[in-house]
Amino acid sequence: MLRDITIGKYYNKASVIHQMDCRTKLAGTLLYIIALFFVENPIVYIPCLVYLLILYRLAAIPWSYILKGLRGFALLLLFTFVFQSLITDGRALFSIGIFTVSQEGLLKAVRLVSRIVLMVLMASLLAYTTTPTQMAAGLEKSLGFLEKIKVPVHEMAMMVSIAFRFIPVFIEEVNIIMDAQASRGVDFHSGNVVKRMGKVMPLVVPLFVSAIRRSADLAMAMEARGYTDAGSRTRYRELVYTSKDRTAYLVILVMTSAVIAAGLLV
């Protein structure tokens, strides 16, 4: 399953979404997620999903790649749906042993799972169409005003960039360790959930050691190249808004306003 995880991986494509300024995509993602919290009626999530599908179409990302990224969240979504359905009181629909599924619980579960899926899809689109370097530059540029109150914006952006860059690295590291364990006779695909979790636990120690080693190597490499957080830094490619970004901001504002208005009225 770890081989199928695509979250956090950049998908190289020459699409209109890829070519937009990172600040535009960051603003669109943030406003979209904020707007979702104003929605209580699950029907309003349908146009939100259509909006996302259009963006993915413009980004030229295959549907198989999108579904592969969501596969890792299937168990979490199922657990969230069942848990919310069982713990919420209301008018009973049917019973499962000592548990009762209520109409209010089912509606709350649908609303919560839909919101999680839409947020994951939107955040994934940002990661698919933006490199870690671009994301760090966009964050640093967008939050630059906080430097006036002594907030370490550059250091925060650097940490975000390194975190995103190491996601696929650690996934690949886990796959290598699992292959090494499988060659020694460990079967990660047999047994129930508890037994599978027990087989995965021995992977934690070598993965932790690998993370520490890579972190030390990265810090040493940055020091050897004279990296310092003192003074202002220049960039090889400066962020510049284009007509595409201005049009995108207009669409983002219209969409966000429509979703918030629908969430408050419906």
The stretch 152-174 carries a mean pLDDT of 77
Which residues are within 8 A (CB) of 157 and not within 5 positions of it... i.e. 6 or more apart? 136, 137, 139, 140, 143
Q: What is the DSSP letter of 19?
A: T
Angle formed by the axes of helices 45-58 and 22-36, to 10°? Answer: 160
Angstrom distance (rounded) from CA 184 to CA 265 = 60
Beta strands in the chain (DSSP E): 92-96, 99-102
Please return the burial class of 96, using the count of CB atoms within 10 Å of its CB with bins 0-12, 13-18 and 19+: exposed
Q: What is the pLDDT of residue 75?
A: 78
Name the average pLDDT for the chain: 82
Quickly state the pLDDT bin for 56 (edges 50, 70, 90): very high
Which residues are within 8 A (CB) of 155 and not within 5 positions of it... i.e. 6 or more apart? 229
Q: What is the pLDDT of residue 168?
A: 73
Q: What is the pLDDT of residue 248?
A: 93
Quickly state the pLDDT bin for 192 (edges 50, 70, 90): low
Quickly state the pLDDT bin for 246 (edges 50, 70, 90): very high
Name the CA dihedral angle for 51, 52, 53, 56, rounded to a multiple of 10 degrees. Answer: 130
Give per-residue pLDDT as tens, 112-147. Answer: 899 999 998 998 899 889 888 888 888 888 887 887
Q: What is the pLDDT of residue 230?
A: 62
Q: What is the pLDDT of residue 231?
A: 59
Quickly state the pLDDT bin for 6 (edges 50, 70, 90): low
Say if residue 34's pLDDT is above 90. Answer: yes
Q: How far is CA 38 from CA 35, 108, 170, 204, 244, in A?
A: 5, 14, 36, 39, 28
Please return the burial class of 193, using the count of CB atoms within 10 Å of its CB with bins 0-12, 13-18 and 19+: exposed
Q: What are the percentages of helix, strand and coil residues in the chain, rounded to 5?
A: 70, 5, 25
Say if residue 1's pLDDT is above 60. Answer: no
The stretch 145-165 carries a mean pLDDT of 78
In whole angstroms, how large is the CA radius of gyration of the chain? Answer: 22
pTM for this model (two decimals): 0.77
Angstrom distance (rounded) from CA 19 to CA 13 = 9
